[in-house]
A and B are shown apart, each in its own frame.
Chain A
């Protein structure tokens, strides 16, 4: 393990000393001999592939392990001087707050104000103290206008902020967050990270943040702890982490770091600002040459026959809480077989509704949507497709086997779907959606996936991108609704951007994901050059600018 941690004499907010744990009925260790400290006011990013132990570490740090989840533990975990073997989560609530991925299960009251004051009620605080604490935390998180709202009326980003407020209202000195941006769009995700930075820099709250999309948060971090199979593989400064990642675990390196490394440039940048600063010394200012940028007005809009999917002035209205609203407004688009399309936009822009309309789940109120050759749709929750006790029970006969073959899933039919990995469960769910819609080697004209990369590390996303490529090569159009800009840049030929139900951009990936602020890759924000969105694009561009060729 590489350690490059600063020495501090303050009592640590969090101390793990040789801590190991395993869950009930499990033979393997979730955490092995983990030793680390988090000092007062530190911002620590927890990195690692899926299943590496990040979530288990966070649960141990707030007492859920062992008091709630049980299992076998050894070693010590101290939070603010309290041993978690003696103090449970409730006893630690004034010292540590915890925020998980899914905001729905972290909000237990029906109104925002009731939710935020709940921990204070359990603590027995008086009316005046509670009112003040709720007001303070609402102002800190910029949600005072939500206090009178019901939680059912909140968006995902708002719900996550309310859950964070409830975790912070007791003024803990340490906050633990387990992939809190995984279900948020780029705008809401960036806002949450910004809030955490403010909490850390202005109010001295120590932050331990587990994240897969490290390009979002690395610049804010004082330290990075990388987990691998339950052990700490790296603990040190972000710069050192990037060197470690490129050498040992490339899937963890940020796009900018990979680009710099492949281009043979010295030093690895932590964040866009550092990257731009580093490049300004080597080349002319990034983005200075914008002569090639199309400034003629509307971005290029694709036209075509739409043999796989065609929408003509599509309007879809949905009802929620007794009110109807137009979710799609006059959308025109055409997708051809074999195309790989990323459908992007903020939460509520209409991405999922467009896919559901294509699958026939919601009827248009005006216009039409045409899918000639069948559609297979995988929704945001692949687990909803898995209802039986074995893979074989879900997919029987030649149709089932053909579908498994189409998604490249080779498992024993007797295996319980719940015992599969996350990526395998997703493939199984896609196979269930495809079963019987394949004819020989042919697939349905349209294969649609809704937010398939939630909670996935980069290696799993690469696997998914490869699957999408395979499906497209077999003639199906693949349309993926996603918030993940880097993933979209990696797999898509084309990006469709929706805004408030309207189509606001429809063009090549390089055109749509370059030059923006939120819907732009890290490479694009570093180089700000038309058409340069992926690491490979960036390496080529840097080579042209510097006249040097990067390593093979």
Chain B
């Protein structure tokens, strides 16, 4: 239940932030993974008391019985994957990596810069790879085909060239002068308080739930679960927390 609430909350937050497409894409991918988890777990796990299907003897697998418990356990695993995909999707679409790096800048300045460069250069490398693949497809039939090794070498060479240019740019910007550089400017938002309160509420609910023993779920030998009031509270807070990106004008849009 908490997993489901967290996934729902993340999806709501993503939609509220104007990242509906990213959320939908993540749900599709995560849903496919979840379905696969359920199927695989149902076929390979021999545990569980409630047999739903007897599929006989399979090579390598032996006797295959599909139990409700195995399907439920697979569903929980799949839900974890789905939730993770949704969170990653919303993060990638809605979170400004520069602002995240601002928060870690004082702790690890060079790592923050390295991470910024990775955020900037990895998409460029992906675009380079797509361009090289396109050029490869445009080669005439009598030109020597481009194998994976040659393509990889070319991509690496191009990335190294670009890295040299980027390094030159950093030199020109003054990276090497050795001053203790100031932290990036943190631009205030009128929504800061709302996000802070939402984060504190989720942290508080999580802490209370953990101290109270949390919820219990065990799929084997039969499905048993227990959700106390603190678990219900946590689930509610997670769902409501997803509304933090909603505003009167239809959602918070930002870089």
Contact = CB atoms under 8 A, between A and B. Distances in A.
- Chains A and B belong together in one complex: yes
Interface of A: 62, 64, 67-68, 88-91, 93, 97-98, 100, 102, 104-111, 113-114, 117-127, 130-131, 134, 148-152, 166-167, 170, 322-323, 359, 361, 376-379, 381, 383-388, 393-400, 402-403, 432-437
Given A110-B119, A387-B146, A435-B141, A122 B177 contact: yes
9 contacts: A91-B177, A108-B116, A108-B117, A110-B98, A148-B254, A394-B144, A433-B140, A435-B139, A435-B141
A122 B172 contact: no
A399 B140 contact: yes
A515 B183 CA distance: 53
B173 A93 contact: yes
A532 to B, nearest CB: 38
B120 A89 contact: no
B175 A90 contact: yes
A323 B254 CA distance: 17
Given A108-B116, A167-B172, A123 B143 contact: no
Interface string B103-126: 000000000000011011001100
Contact of A117 (B22, B172, B184): B184
B16 to A, nearest CB: 16
Contacts of A384: 131-132, 134-135, 154
Nearest to A437: B140
A111 B255 contact: yes
Interface string B129-154: 00110111111111110100011011
A355 B182 CA distance: 48
B57 interface: no
B137 A119 contact: no
Interface bin, chain B: 35 or more
B153 A387 contact: yes
B185 interface: yes
A100 B162 CA distance: 13
- Give 10 nearest A-B pairs by CB, closest first: A399-B142, A436-B142, A435-B140, A436-B141, A105-B165, A384-B135, A435-B142, A90-B177, A122-B174, A435-B143
B97 interface: yes
Interface centre among B97, B150, B177 (most CB of A within 10 A): B177
Most buried by A among B117, B143, B146: B143
A64 B141 contact: no
A354 to B, nearest CB: 15
B170 interface: yes
A130 B96 contact: no
Contact of B169 (A105, A323, A394): A105
B179 interface: yes
A121 B166 CA distance: 17
A90 B142 contact: no
A397 B142 contact: yes
B162 A105 contact: yes
A123 B179 CA distance: 6
Contacts of A434: 140
A398 B143 CA distance: 10
Contact of A93 (B25, B162, B174, B254): B174
B121 to A, nearest CB: 8
B139 A108 contact: no
Contacts, number: 185
Contacts of B134: 361, 379, 384
B168 A121 contact: no
Contacts of A118: 173
Contacts of B154: 384, 386-387
A64 B142 contact: no
A240 B139 CA distance: 47
B138 A399 contact: no
Contacts of B255: 111, 148-150
Nearest to A385: B135
Contacts of B131: 379, 381, 384
B140 A108 contact: no
A123 B169 CA distance: 15
Nearest to B153: A387
Contacts of B153: 387
Contacts of B174: 89-90, 93, 119, 122-123, 170
Given A62-B172, A399-B143, 4 more contacts: A88-B176, A93-B174, A122-B174, A432-B140
B28 interface: no
A433 B136 CA distance: 9
Given A90-B171, A123-B179, A131-B185, A376 B140 contact: yes
A388 B135 contact: no
B190 interface: no
Contacts of A437: 140-142
Contacts of B181: 121-124
B21 interface: yes
A131 B186 CA distance: 10
Interface in B81-113: 93, 96-98
Contact of A111 (B21, B25, B98, B170): B98
A387 B120 contact: no
Nearest to B146: A387
Contact of A387 (B116, B151, B187): B151
B170 A433 contact: no
B59 to A, nearest CB: 43
Contacts of B137: 361
Contacts of A109: 98, 116, 120
A233 B140 CA distance: 43
A89 B137 CA distance: 41
Contacts of B168: 64, 68, 89
B120 A151 contact: yes
Contact of A130 (B142, B165, B185): B185
A219 B181 CA distance: 41
A126 B254 CA distance: 25
B140 A436 contact: yes
A489 B245 CA distance: 54
Contacts of B185: 113, 117, 127, 130-131, 134
